[in-house]
Amino acid sequence: MERISAWTPLVAPLGQFRYGTVAGGVAPTPLKAEWLNMIQNELANFILAYLPKLDAEDNTQLLKAIEAFGERLGDRFALKATTLAGYGITDSYTKVENDGQLSKKANNAITLAGYGIGDAYTKLAINAFVSDLQVAIDNLAKTKQDKNTALMAATGWRLDSATGLLEQWGSGECGPDSTTQPINFPRPFAEVYNCFGNKITPNADDSDGNAAGARAVSITQYQLFNDTNSYSATIHWRAIGKAPGF
């Protein structure tokens, strides 16, 4: 599998898709047929590994393939648990004896009493253990996802995943005494708290105080404005608000 950057240079850092901006002359990342075919083949190959064929009328095939994978994994654990030979257990099959053997294979003694295992390791007990293990893995993954994320570029954004605060910034050109067409934010907001901007270099000849800036026109777009009479302006803008889903 490859990122979209394998087929086009029009990407954000780390090979991510970018929105682009017409006013800023930055083209968005195109959807390439090669990338879409790669995604399609990845999904189709996984499904066909566990189901007999693809079905255009069934939009749950990926879920069924994942469930089949889980069942196969559970069967393998159950088979392993029948003898536990992989842990050096030969003639011992009771809970107490097996726990004693398992404790020799780890820094801490491994007991599975919390999973309802009595005198023998059953398929049901092993499946319960695997299920709880998957929950623990998912929780670790979520902790990782809660870290702040950002696109650190001249036009970019930063998201605080703990609070949902989304910061965005960039720059653009605006002609004398004019307002630009609406421009897409790098990422949409759920709510915009503030959007503002300033010229890079004020001009002392302007008679109206070098007024220029930025304003949000919706949760997805902003405009640049320049009230000076004779000079175009390069405007740096910044916006803060709440990200969707928070």
**DSSP letter, residue 188:** -
**Structure confidence by residue, pLDDT tens digits, 88-128:** 555 545 666 666 666 665 544 345 555 555 545 566 667 77
pLDDT above 90 covers a percentage of the chain that reads: 26
Confidence of residue 149 (pLDDT cuts 50, 70, 90): confident
Summary mean pLDDT of the chain: 79
Dig out the tokens for 92 from the structure: 């011992």
Residue 63: how many other CB atoms lie within 10 Å: 11
Any idea which fold 149-242 has? Immunoglobulin-like (2.60.40)
Least confident of 4-8, 94-98, 131-135: 94-98
pLDDT at 213: 92
Q: Is the torsion defined by CA of 229, 232, 234, 236 positive or negative?
A: positive
Greatest extent of the chain over all pairs of C-alpha atoms, in Å: 96
In the chain, where the domains are located: 32-144, 149-242
Nearest to residue 182, comparing CAs of 127, 137, 153, 224? 224
pLDDT at 132: 79
Residue 186: how many other CB atoms lie within 10 Å: 20
pLDDT at 29 over 60: yes
Statement: the pTM of the whole predicted model exceeds 0.85: no
* Helices and strands counted in the chain (H then E): 4, 9
pLDDT at 144: 47
The residue type found at 159 is L
